Amino acid sequence: MSGDLAVVMDVAGTIMRMYRVAKDIPGDIILEKVVTWELIMEKSGRALVVPQIDPDMIISCNPDHPIRVLVLGREDCIKISCSSSQISPDEVLRILKSSPVKMRELQEACAIVKAKCPGNYRTAGFIVDHDHGEIAYAISTGGIPFPGLERVLLDLKAMGADVYLASGDSRRSLNSLDDLGIDPSRMNPVANPWRKKEIVAELKERYGHVVMVGDGLNDIYALKAADLGVLTVEQHTRPSPRLLDSASVIIKSIRDLPRVIKESGSIGQNESTPSRQGELQEKYYIP
């Protein structure tokens, strides 16, 4: 199916307010309210690995069992969401299967997130360090929709837009959003930055205009590839200059999205020149 307007949305931090916890495995430290992408980009050779497994099942496991109990027999469920450099799935599986890390490390992060975010939109995973051959962090995240999201989706539908999701999170997490009325066939789980760009490019072959909405560094390529790249700063109020430069428009709230799309008129190619970016930042973004 094709049409005039497709709106592609990242999920975590874009339409969902997220709470993220990381367990620093070597340092034996819990880090709350982390930005997962920043932990990945601290150094090359890191990858975010997202098992397609319910966090409640993870919590129910024997805490003394090694992490490999999540992997053995479920190799096809272990997905790389994003990475700071190219890492093969085989290398990730090798590290997970040989790691001495216990389930309790991941369970600790999951339990904190579940207490803060008791809803169904929760996920868990690891940041693997290929260069050191180890699990650097155990990660758990949870989220709730930003206020006004349902109204935004209704307004987009009234505009004739087809809404797509492109998320680094698992299919299980995205399925928990079925009450938002988004067609499951338009949900793209475990989408790394390059896959998000591909999704935008594929939709541009079928739609007159494609809008990308994101909030993080893993959205940069898709923001640049879209006819209109919309950066929302509702979760992260001080994005990096590189991220600011990737966007056509910067908004403070997802509730501003329908208005911005309407005001764009005939949506042209992304124009992230320094002068244009300055105008947009002044109009839409208050640091």
DSSP-assigned letters across all residues of 195-246:
HHHHHHHHHHTTEEEEEEEE-SGGGHHHHHHSSEEEEE-SS-SS--HHHHHH
Cα separation, 56 vs 208, in Å, equals 42
Residues 22 and 9 in one domain: no
* Nearest Cα to Cα of residue 7 among 182, 194, 169: 182
Q: Could you write out the DSSP letters of every residue in 48-90? A: EEEESS-HHHHHHS-TTSBGGGGTTT-GGGEEEEEESS---HH
Residues 208 and 220 in one domain: yes
Res 8: pLDDT: 98
Cα separation, 68 vs 158, in Å, equals 48
For the chain, what is the domain count?
A: 2
Pick the last residue of a domain from 142, 174, 189.
142
Cα separation, 5 vs 87, in Å, equals 35
- What CATH number has the domain bearing residue 278? 3.40.50.1000
CA gyration radius, the chain? 19
Res 281: pLDDT: 39
Residues 76 and 149 in one domain: no
Residues 133 and 149 in one domain: no
pLDDT tens-digit map of 118-145: 888 888 999 999 999 999 999 999 999 9
Residue with tokens 């579940």: 114
Res 126: pLDDT: 94
Res 2: pLDDT: 55
**Domain containing residue 278:** 3-15+144-284
Query: Are the C-beta atoms of residues 216 and 36 closer than 8 Å to each other?
Result: no
**E strands in 99-198:** 122-129, 134-145, 162-166, 187-188
Residues 107 and 179 in one domain: no
* 47: enclosing H helix or E strand: strand 46-51
Residues 138 and 168 in one domain: no
Strand partners, 177: none
Pick the last residue of a domain from 124, 142, 160.
142
Residue with tokens 């970016």: 277
Res 77: pLDDT: 83
β-pairing, 78-83 with 46-51? Answer: antiparallel
Residues 7 and 25 in one domain: no
pLDDT in tens, the chain (287 residues): 457 999 999 999 999 999 999 999 999 999 998 888 889 988 999 999 988 888 888 999 999 999 999 889 888 888 888 888 889 999 999 999 999 999 999 999 999 999 988 888 888 999 999 999 999 999 999 999 999 999 999 999 999 999 999 998 878 888 888 888 999 999 999 888 899 999 999 999 999 999 999 998 889 999 999 999 999 999 987 788 888 999 999 999 999 999 999 998 644 444 443 333 443 333 333 22
pLDDT tens-digit map of 32-54: 988 888 899 889 999 999 888 88
Residues 164 and 275 in one domain: yes
Q: The tokens of 199 are what?
A: 């999704």
Res 100: pLDDT: 96
Residues 151 and 209 in one domain: yes
CB atoms within 10 A of CB 284: 19
Amino acid in the structure at residue 103: M
Cα separation, 219 vs 166, in Å, equals 9
Cα separation, 178 vs 271, in Å, equals 34
CA distance to 57, 125, 178, 197, 268, per residue, from 103 (Å): 11, 11, 30, 34, 50
Pick the last residue of a domain from 127, 142, 157.
142
- For residue 155, the number of C-alpha atoms closer than 13 Å in the C-beta half-sphere is 14
Q: What's 146's DSSP letter? A: P
Residues 78 and 175 in one domain: no
Question: 0.85 exceeded by the pTM?
Answer: no
